[in-house]
Structure formats: structure tokens, C-alpha cells
Structure 1
């Protein structure tokens, strides 16, 4: 039997605080897909005038069937409207979620770029971080981005 080397263990955080953090992460994971879809739908409508299921699947790297299931879920949640064989449109609530997600993405991306992270890496990392970052952290990113950019 192999034993692990004994490492100094820091005190575990308060259970209530730790549980709240894990709940927040689970909630972020639950909403991540919806936010990605509505953000992309909004971008496609802005760029080419419509969002089609085929375009969603292609841009998200998923199958047509997967995209269709997510769009059905988004319809049930009141974020999009769609008719069979027609474009997909954001509801007012869907447009709000898309704008919020897009704004969080921009804040994280700009902060990473101000730190000196390459464009490609900042774009990829922002795509994951944007869904899990708190409002307090976003506000700190904004403050520090301004400082970093001003120092150049």
C-alpha cells in the first residue's frame, strides 16, 4: 500500500462559507450553457441578421441535435423564441442575459489583456472565467484594468 507524504494542511475554511462557494459554482455551471447560447444568438443576429440552429451548432462545436435540445430548453426558460425551420430570436429576458454575459466576458478579457496575456489565450480563458466570477471580482478587474492601462 502506497502512502501519501505528509504535507502541512491548512485549516479548512468554515463549512458554511465553503458550502456557499460550492453552491455558487454549481449554479454557474448550470447557467453557463444558456449564457453561451444566448450570447451567441445575439452576436449572430447582430452580425448576419439571424441565428439558425446550424450556425449555433457550428460555432459551439456541438451536434445539430445537441443545439436543438438546448434551444428547446431556452424556449421553456423564456430566453428565446423559435418556430420550426425558422431563425431563433432572443426574448427581452434573453437579450438581457446575453448583454450581461457579453459584458462579463469583455471585462475579464480586458483585464487579462492588461496583464499581458496574449489575445488568443485571453479570449479562451475569458470564455470560462466569465461564468464563474463574482460581481465583486468583476469590479476589482475593472479597477485594476484601468490602473494597468494607465501605467503603460
Structure 2
């Protein structure tokens, strides 16, 4: 198990991975604490492709990520996280849209919970999910960071 830190224009990012791929991406100063388990080894070279793609994203040259991912979650969470990856950069969707997309229109609250449990922020773009009324809803990195990310992507939302 490995980790690396990445300095972004929106704050420091902590990335972890295992042999299968990226297992988490967390903004260090977000509401969700970025913690590296003691058994993890700092190996920035393992993350060279992730760092390159993050640089391209923050420079406005990349609109989606193509990295091997290894998020741990329930089958339902995995469905939600896969649906999140279909939201194009610069666009937003509602929790109800995600619920319909995964074939369970009544699971709006469960989708919200799964969205909040997404361990790979930004790469699995949970920040692109907003309320049905166009307003920002919760984000592990905080609403200010969510707004900055959406503005960076040119997305429309109500402040």
C-alpha cells in the first residue's frame, strides 16, 4: 500500500493506492480527514501518472481521468461511483438522476449516502452532483471547495 501527496491550486491532496490502482484521493484540508494508515509507504513514483493527470486537469487540459481505480465499497456504492464517472466535466447532475441511471429511481437518499462515501474524490467526480434545485449540497472537501471545482470546470449551479 502506497501514498503520495500532491499540491493542487485548491490545496494539498493525499492519494493512496494498492497494486490494483488508486484507492483514495482526499483534499487534506477538507471536512473528511485525510489519514495515511501506518502500514502505507510513501512512494511518489507510483503516482507519476496520477500526478500528471491531476496537473493536466488543474491546467484545464484534461476533462476526465484514465487511471486504474481500486475503491472499496458495496455493490450499490460501486454502481453509484460508476455512474458518477459518466458525468461530463463542466456538467452537473442530481441525486435523482444518479438513482435513475443505476436503475433504482427511489434510492435517492441511498445515492446521496453512497456519493458521500466516495473515497476517490475528483477522479470519481462526486463534486458534480448537486441538488435538484441547482444548489450545492454536501461535499467531503467542503462546499467552498466544491464551488471552486465546479467553477474551474465552468459548470452552472446556484451558489
> What's the TM-score bracket when you normalise by the shorter of the two chains?
under 0.3
Larger fraction in helix: 1
Structure with larger Rg: 1
TM-score by length of 1: 0.27
TM-score by length of 2: 0.26
Larger fraction in strand: 2
